[in-house]
Each structure stands twice: as C-alpha cells, then as structure tokens.
C-alpha cells in the first residue's frame, strides 16, 4: 500500500461487525489487495441473522430482493426456498457468501470492541477489545447495524427472575421448549409479532404485556418451487433495475394516483386488492399521500383498524391491539403470520400496561398495579437502542480526543451518513443519515462508495481523510429539511430515535435519510465525481 504514515499498522483496514456490511466490506477490501480484518462479537457471521434466531424470525422483504446483487454468479448459484426466508436460511446464505468469497481467514469472532481511538500523531486507528487486546489500522469501517444494541424494559427486578429469560435478539442456538410452559412476552413490536404465534402453538399459557400497539399486515409467505426459482433467476437483471429505481429499494413503490381522485368505494376496492397481496404492497404501494397528509392517513388507518377487528374475536383485545398514538405506516410496519389470530386462543391473554403498568419483576413472575403473574419463561421482545445505540456502546474517540457520544448527544451529525467530522479515515455502513429501506441494497451501495473512497486515498497517498464542518452542517440540514413534511417524523419510534427504556433517548431526532434511495446515491456520486473536494485530505 505504500507508506501513508509514520507507523505501520497491523492492518490496512479494520471492520467492526461481521454481518452483511462487514462481510461485503471484507470482500471489497480484498479486491483492493488491502490487508483487512473483520472483528465480530459473535461466534460466527450473520449480524442480525446470527443474533435474532427467535421463533418465527424471517424476512419481511422478498428473499430475492434482499440478496446481494454484486455477483450474478452467486445470485444464480443460491436457491431460496421461501419467498420470505426464515432466519436459519438467511444465516446459511451469509455463510455461503463467506465460503464463495473466501472471507473466513479475514474474520475474527468472539471479539467485542470496547473502544476505537484515533491516534493523531500516527494517523492510525487503535481498537481495543474487552479482553484488552489491541488492533491498529489505517482505515476503519463500522458495520455495527441499525438494530443491534438490545434493550431491556426499565422495570425494577429484571435480574431477579429465576426462570428462563430470553431477549429476542440474544436467543440461544438450541431451541427453547415452550411445551406446557407459562410464558410472559413483554412487547408487541416486530419481533413479538413474529414470535407470539409460534410460542402460542405449544405453550400452556401466553401472557402478552403491551405498552404500545403496532400496526401489522399479513405476510402471506409461500414456498418457492424449482420452476419459480428459475423464473426468479432469469428475472434478476430486470429486478435490479426496478429496486434501484424505487424510493426504498424494494420492488414496491407508491401508487402514482391521488387518493382524492377516487370515491370511498373505489378506495375500498383498491385497498382490498393491496391487502390480499403478500408482504409490503399495502404499505409501500398505497396512495402517495398517506405518508404526508393526515386526512389521507386517517382513511387508510381506519381500513387497517377494521381489518384487525375482523380477525380478533374479543372486542376489548381487538381495540387494545389497534394503535391510538400513530397512524398506519408512520412507523415501519411489521409483517405477520396469524399474529392477530393468536389472541383468539383461550391460552393467550393481552395485558395493557397503559392501564395497569409494571411494578416489578419477581423471582417467579411479574407484578403489575392490578395483578401478580407467575411464569416459567420470560421473553423480552423489547427492541433496540436503535441507529446510534451501537455507536454509543463503543468509546469512539477522534482527533484531539473528541468523543462521538458527545458529538451526537443532541442527535447525529454526519456527512453523507458515511463520515463524521473529527473522525478521519472512518466510514460507517448503515450509520445515521443513510438511506435505509431494503438494507442489503443500502449496504451494497454504501460499502461500494466507501471502497472507492479508500481506493482513492491509497492511489493518491492520502493518509488523512476527514469530513469538514461545513459538509456536516450542510448534510445534516439537508436531512432535516427532507423530513419536515413526513408524518413518520411526528411519532415516537426507533426511526426517530426514541426508546423509553434508554436514558436520554426520549427526544426525537432525525436518524435516517428522508429522501429516496436514488436521491441519496446521486448526492454521494456528486461528491465522488468531484474527487472528494468537500473533505479535508492530507
């Protein structure tokens, strides 16, 4: 690589995280003939699909649009068995990528990074893991995930429970046996919505504790036949064109017609058609106004509420499962398989924590203000300290000992969602202010852009590459401006940085890029085409 600084580091590039971002970053660095090491806290690759192995875990986007597209050969070789693949199949897919791309020698497991410090004099990054071992590199890429730092409820006594207790994002590799067990599930977010129907099949009793209801729509998953898979393979080129054109990188985009051009009866027919389709169409292929016009959102919300009432027999339970604090689609919408029907089982009960809050967790159960419950197993489906939480968990220090936690205490400030002022030679895949949506599509672009940037630094003997204050201010303002009219920015959710179980995370922030994925890519391309003139380079 040549001499780019006074000290030769252990590696040209260190990557934190062995999920999809880390694996693809490893591949791209190998292509550049750079020495690279991926440091992963788990015992193998997978990231999200390693940690989240709870019952019912699976894609909510089509398997074949979630896959990486950079290699037609790998696309053709892999066979998906379901339109929405389960966790185990996705984990196998990521291991398949590591096999074919020969990544294993560059991956290190059981390595939890505690700190990442920039050494000003040497112009290198020094990472320290929890055992005290250190690693140095010229460049640093973070692939630590949007939803990777799990949180437990802010309730006294969580550590006191003597039975089995599991967080959905730290599920054991060996299956949990719920047969004839009394199970308490805390939370009704995306993971609970997938897990509860499966748990209810064998448990003697399932008690679901809900603070905030969430909208959910039927997944309608099916197997993929050999003939279907062949058609999918032949359609990959057109599929890639399509997903690169849409706002969120999925196959689906908003209806071009206005909701106000149709009668109530016509809208009802349209919504019934979308509702019957698998996956995201009812959310992402709906009328364009539902995400920006409260009156339009009220109409689609009423339709979704009606669908919930049709499926849940008990009127009280049905009403409690209908969100009152946010309209349909203003949070990311979970996909479900017989979730609402699970509440029709006599063994499943819903507890509304807004009416009867938690008092404490005990050695053998939970006490609310109204009742004491006894359990054999507790399942914490209580989500994540999202977007910035994984960064807060590591002590990132930049130039002059700048702390990233301090830099972002009032919300993230980035340039392009990929870099941060005071943190030279560091790039983020799936950091704040990036376009999310279909995550592998976003990863493929972000890591590709990062790889080209690192290649530029290598080829131009640049040992210091940093976002400027002006660039950060312009980009942060741009991201904020894009979100002003979106209803999703007016509700509390992980997408607005709110987590009531985390101190200091009760205030909404702008956490992600609010424009379309094509717009995001164009902005990044303009910077690269200008040879990164908006960065400080030395």
Q: What share of the chain is helix, strand, coil (3-state, %, to 5)?
A: 35, 20, 45
pLDDT tier, 2 (very low <50, low <70, confident <90, very high otherwise): very low
**Paired residues of 352 in beta bridges:** 210
Instruction: For residues 388-395, give the mean pLDDT.
Output: 97
Q: What is the predicted pLDDT for the residue at 6?
A: 59
- Give the helix/strand (H/E) hosting 183: strand 182-186
What is the arithmetic mean of pLDDT over 97-101? 99
Q: Is the dihedral of CA 516, 517, 520, 526 positive or negative?
A: negative
CA angle (480 as vertex; 424, 413 as ends), nearest 5: 20
Alpha-carbon distance values, 87 to 134, 333, 477 (Å) = 33, 19, 38
pLDDT for position 56: 98
The reported pLDDT for the residue numbered 509 is 86
365-368: strand order across its sheet = 358-361, 365-368, 372-374
Choosing among 3.40.1360.10, 3.40.30.10, 3.40.50.10860, 3.50.50.60, the CATH entry for 11-45+103-149+386-537 is 3.50.50.60
- Tell me 496's DSSP state: G
For residue 438, pLDDT beyond 50? yes
Query: What's the CA dihedral at 157, 160, 166, 172 to 10 degrees?
Result: 150
Q: How confident is the model at residue 70 (pLDDT cuts 50, 70, 90)?
A: very high
DSSP E strands, 406-495: 426-428, 465-467
- Whole-structure pTM value: 0.96
Percent above pLDDT 70 for the chain: 99
pLDDT at 136 over 90: yes
Please state the φ and ψ torsions of residue 136, each to the nearest 5 degrees.
-125, 150
- The predicted-structure confidence for 446-502, as pLDDT tens digits, reads as follows 999 999 999 999 999 999 999 999 999 999 999 999 988 899 999 989 888 888 888
The rounded mean pLDDT for the chain is 97
How would DSSP label each residue in 144-171? --SS-SB---S-TTGGG--SEEEEGGG-
Distance CA 418, CA 441 (A): 15
Q: What is the mean pLDDT of residues 360-380?
A: 99
Please state the rounded mean pLDDT for residues 330-339: 97
Distance (Å, rounded) from C-alpha 200 to C-alpha 179? 9
The confidence band for 4, taking pLDDT boundaries of 50, 70 and 90, is very low
pLDDT tens readout for residues 160-184 = 999 999 999 999 999 999 999 999 9
Flag whether pLDDT at 306 surpasses 60. Answer: yes
Q: What is the pLDDT of residues 18-49, one digit of tens each?
A: 999 999 999 999 999 999 999 999 999 999 99
- Looking at residue 506, its pLDDT comes to 82
């Amino acid at each position: 690589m040549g001499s780019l600084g006074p000290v030769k580091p252990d590696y040209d590039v260190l990557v934190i995280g062995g999920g999809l971002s880390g694996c693809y970053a490893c591949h791209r660095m190998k292509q550049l003939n750079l020495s690279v090491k991926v440091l992963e806290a788990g015992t193998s690759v997978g990231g999200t699909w390693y940690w989240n192995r709870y019952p019912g875990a699976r894609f909510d986007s089509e398997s074949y649009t979630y896959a990486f597209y950079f290699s037609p050969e790998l696309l053709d070789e892999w066979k998906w068995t379901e339109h929405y693949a389960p966790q185990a199949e996705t984990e196998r897919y990521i291991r398949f990528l590591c096999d074919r791309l020969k990544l294993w020698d560059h991956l290190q497991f059981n390595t939890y990074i505690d700190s990442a410090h920039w050494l000003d004099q040497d112009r290198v990054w020094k990472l320290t893991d929890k055992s005290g071992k250190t690693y140095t590199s010229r460049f640093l890429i973070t692939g630590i995930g949007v939803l990777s730092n799990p949180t437990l409820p802010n309730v006294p006594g969580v550590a006191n429970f003597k039975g089995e207790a599991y967080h959905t994002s730290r599920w054991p590799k060996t299956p949990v046996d719920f047969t004839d067990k009394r199970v308490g599930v805390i939370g009704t977010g995306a993971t609970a919505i997938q897990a509860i129907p499966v748990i209810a099949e064998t448990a003697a009793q399932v008690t679901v504790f809900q603070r905030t209801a969430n909208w959910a729509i039927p997944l309608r998953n099916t197997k993929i036949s050999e003939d279907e898979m062949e058609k999918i393979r032949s359609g990959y080129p057109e599929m890639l064109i399509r997903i690169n054109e849409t706002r969120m990188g999925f196959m689906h985009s908003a209806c071009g017609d206005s909701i106000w051009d149709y009668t109530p009866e016509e809208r009802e027919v349209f919504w019934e058609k979308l509702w019957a389709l698998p996956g995201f169409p009812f959310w992402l292929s709906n009328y364009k106004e539902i995400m920006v016009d409260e009156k339009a959102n009220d109409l689609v919300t009423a339709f979704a509420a009606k669908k919930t009432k049709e499926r849940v027999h008990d009127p009280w339970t049905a009403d409690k499962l209908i969100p009152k604090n946010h309209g349909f689609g203003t949070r990311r919408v979970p996909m479900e398989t017989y979730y609402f029907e699970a509440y029709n089982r006599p063994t499943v009960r819903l507890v509304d924590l807004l009416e009867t809050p938690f008092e404490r967790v005990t050695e053998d159960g939970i006490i609310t203000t109204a009742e004491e419950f006894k359990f054999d197993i507790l399942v914490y489906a209580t989500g994540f300290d999202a977007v910035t939480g994984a960064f807060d968990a590591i002590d990132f220090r930049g130039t002059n000992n700048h702390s990233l936690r301090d830099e972002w205490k009032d919300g993230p400030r980035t340039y392009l969602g990929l870099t941060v002022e005071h943190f030279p030679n560091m790039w983020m895949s799936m950091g704040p202010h990036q376009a999310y949506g279909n995550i592998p599509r976003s990863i493929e672009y972000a890591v590709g852009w990062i790889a080209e940037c690192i290649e530029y630094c290598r080829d131009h003997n640049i040992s210091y590459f940093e976002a400027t204050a002006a660039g950060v201010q312009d980009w942060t303002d741009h991201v904020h401006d894009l979100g002003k009219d979106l209803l999703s920015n007016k509700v509390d959710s992980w997408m607005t940085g709110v987590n009531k179980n985390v101190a200091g995370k009760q205030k909404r922030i702008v956490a992600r890029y609010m424009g379309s994925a094509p717009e995001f890519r164009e902005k990044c391309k303009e910077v690269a085409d200008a040879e990164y003139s908006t960065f400080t380079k030395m």
